[in-house]
């Protein structure tokens, strides 16, 4: 029997740039020691205190169906956290608990786009974005951000693409580029959204990983609380990727309608996971800083290695657990370079092309192995880039 085109069209037919990732995994399985700097997952498991809270909650009876929008204590805590971090008045009625940021992205797109509507997203982009837009029945349209502008998108480029677009999806701190959108970038985005009457979907799952600059939540910009849905998650901030817990923040009416969607899709998030999330949030900012610390340290280390040579250029890694490297001086595509690096040094990085045309000639390095291994891998990468670069005559 034929599967619906709604599903078969989600990926747009391509490999989604996973060829290199799959090749690295296959090499590893065949016994080759590959250093994987590919996916954004902490090199430490979820903290035992969170797991103990989960265990205790399950034993205490939190094993049944839960209220669809999320347990009251968790909605309350998330609302307080958002209000404290952004200054925007936020109550539990503005919060919907969902099974991870990815589920939040899908629900936010369902909430903002009619079937066939255009949804804009910024290229380079997190790998699932175009597929998630298609899954929600909308049409993805990329807006290029430029390497030479540190991958900050320009308001006029968004405006030029915005004809009849229903929503704009942004992500800051950004995966894959490490950019943290400046006040100017966000003000321009807010201005275009308001003038074009677009929803803004703001993916802020890396909001605790900011190394320079300041993270401003789009919802805090003047006039934006009414047209913004913020997607948050505990995956990155609390090293809880496998727990599948996140949220959507938005206007009360939209949140109530999205709750109706979750009644017909996920049917909520397990109570023991939500109680563990309450425990994790109660550990406060010091715990979040502790989870973020290794990435800050490794980012500083890698930036120092890059600064000591002049072939590879780093996009200023202002946030998130990645560094984007510009390898165009080698004359190789990101894909060719990443494959060569895997073959020569058994180091796996993601080709920039897998995140969109705007990242061609770049690779993304995830800072997700221990410092010593990362330092060696970066040294090998820089060495390869230097060898591949034809010296400038004269
Ligand atoms: N948005 C971005 C930018 C991400 O990098 C990720 C995970 N890699 C997600 C959303 C989804 O995260 P989760 O579903 O684990 O919360």
Contact 54, 240 (CB under 8 A): no
The pTM of the full predicted model, rounded to 2 decimals, is 0.96
List pLDDT tens digits, range 194-240.
999 999 999 999 999 999 989 999 999 999 999 999 999 999 999 99
CA angle, residues 205, 263, 121, in degrees to nearest 5: 35
Average pLDDT over residues 139-166: 97
Total residues found in the chain within this entry:
394
Specify the CATH class of 5-45+286-388 in words.
alpha beta
Start-to-end C-alpha separation, the chain: 65
List pLDDT tens digits, range 87-132.
999 999 999 999 999 999 999 999 999 999 999 999 999 999 999 9
Question: 386 C-alpha to center of ligand 1: Å?
Answer: 33
Distances in Å between the Cα of 96 and the Cα atoms of 220, 228, 246 are 18, 14, 9
Question: 133 C-alpha to center of ligand 1: Å?
Answer: 15
- Exposed, middle or buried, 328 (CB in 10 Å: 0-12/13-18/19+)? middle
Residue 393 has pLDDT above 60, yes or no: no
- 232 Cβ inside 6 Å of ligand 1: no
List pLDDT tens digits, range 272-298.
999 999 999 999 999 999 999 999 999
Q: List % helix, strand, coil for the chain (3-state, nearest 5).
A: 45, 15, 40
3-state secondary structure of 202: strand
**In this structure, what are the phi and psi dihedrals at residue 319, rounded to the nearest 5 degrees?**
-165, 175
3-state secondary structure of 18: coil
- 205 Cβ inside 6 Å of ligand 1: yes
Peptide bond before residue 173 is cis, with ω within 30 degrees of 0: yes
Q: What percent of the chain has pLDDT over 90?
A: 94
- 40 Cβ inside 6 Å of ligand 1: yes
Determine the Cα–Cα distance for residues 58 and 64; give it in Å rounded to an integer.
9
Report the CATH architecture of 54-283.
Answer: 3-Layer(aba) Sandwich (3.40)
Ligand 1, pocket-test mutation among 121, 175, 209, 368, most atoms within 8 A of CB: 175
Q: Which one has a higher pLDDT value, 43 or 14?
A: 43
- 178 Cβ inside 6 Å of ligand 1: no
Question: 248 C-alpha to center of ligand 1: Å?
Answer: 13
The distance from CA 221 to its chain's CA centroid, rounded to whole angstroms, is 21
Average pLDDT over residues 63-72: 96
Q: What pLDDT shows up at residue 15? A: 60
Determine the Cα–Cα distance for residues 350 and 36; give it in Å rounded to an integer.
10
Strands in 347-351's sheet, in edge-to-edge order, are 35-37, 347-351, 362-366, 322-326, 313-314
Residue ranges, CATH 3.40.640.10, the chain: 54-283
User: The tokens 């929803």 sit on which residue?
Assistant: 199
Which residue blocks in the chain are alpha helix, DSSP H? 5-8, 19-29, 48-59, 72-86, 101-112, 129-135, 155-161, 183-196, 252-263, 271-282, 284-307, 334-345, 371-388
- 233 Cβ inside 6 Å of ligand 1: yes
In the chain, count H helices and then E strands: 13, 12
Following DSSP, what letter does each residue of 25-44 receive, concatenated?
HHHHHTT---EEE-S---SS
Q: What percent of the chain has pLDDT over 70?
A: 97
Residue ranges, CATH 3.90.1150.10, the chain: 5-45+286-388
List pLDDT tens digits, range 245-281.
999 999 999 999 999 999 999 999 999 999 999 999 9
pLDDT band at 241 (very low <50, low <70, confident <90, very high): very high
């Amino acid at each position: 029997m034929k599967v619906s085109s709604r599903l078969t069209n989600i990926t747009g037919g391509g490999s989604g740039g996973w060829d290199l990732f799959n090749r690295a995994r296959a090499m590893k399985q065949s016994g080759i020691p590959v250093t994987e700097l590919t996916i954004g997952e902490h090199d430490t498991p979820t903290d035992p205190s969170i797991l103990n809270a989960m265990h205790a909650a399950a034993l205490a009876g939190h094993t049944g169906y839960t209220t669809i929008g999320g347990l009251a204590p968790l909605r309350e805590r998330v609302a307080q956290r958002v209000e404290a971090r952004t200054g925007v008045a936020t109550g539990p009625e503005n919060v919907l608990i969902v099974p991870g940021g990815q589920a939040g992205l899908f629900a936010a797109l369902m909430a903002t786009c009619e079937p066939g509507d255009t949804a804009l997203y910024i290229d380079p982009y997190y790998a699932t974005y175009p597929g998630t837009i298609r899954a929600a029945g909308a049409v993805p349209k990329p807006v290029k951000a430029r390497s030479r502008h540190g991958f900050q998108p320009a308001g006029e480029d968004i405006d030029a693409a915005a004809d009849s677009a229903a929503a704009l999806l942004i992500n800051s701190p950004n995966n894959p580029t490490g950019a943290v959108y400046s006040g100017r970038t966000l003000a321009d985005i807010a201005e275009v959204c308001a003038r074009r009457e677009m929803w803004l979907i703001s993916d802020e799952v890396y909001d605790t990983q900011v190394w320079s600059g300041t993270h401003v939540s789009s919802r805090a910009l003047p006039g934006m609380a009414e047209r913004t849905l913020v997607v948050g998650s505990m995956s990155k901030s609390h090293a809880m990727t496998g727990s599948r817990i996140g949220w959507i923040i938005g206007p009360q009416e939209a949140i109530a309608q999205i709750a109706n969607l979750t009644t017909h899709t996920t049917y909520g998030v397990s109570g023991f996971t939500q109680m563990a999330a309450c425990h994790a949030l109660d550990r406060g900012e010091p715990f979040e800083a502790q989870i973020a610390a290794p990435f800050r340290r490794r980012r500083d280390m890698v930036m120092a290695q890059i600064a000591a040579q002049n072939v590879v250029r780093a996009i200023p890694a202002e946030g998130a657990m990645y560094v984007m490297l510009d390898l165009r001086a080698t004359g190789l595509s990101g894909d060719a370079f990443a494959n060569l690096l895997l073959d020569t040094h058994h180091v796996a990085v993601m080709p920039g092309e897998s995140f969109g045309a705007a990242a061609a000639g770049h690779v993304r390095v995830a800072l997700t192995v221990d410092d010593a291994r990362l330092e060696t891998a970066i040294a090998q990468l820089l060495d390869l880039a230097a060898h591949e670069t034809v010296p400038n005559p004269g």
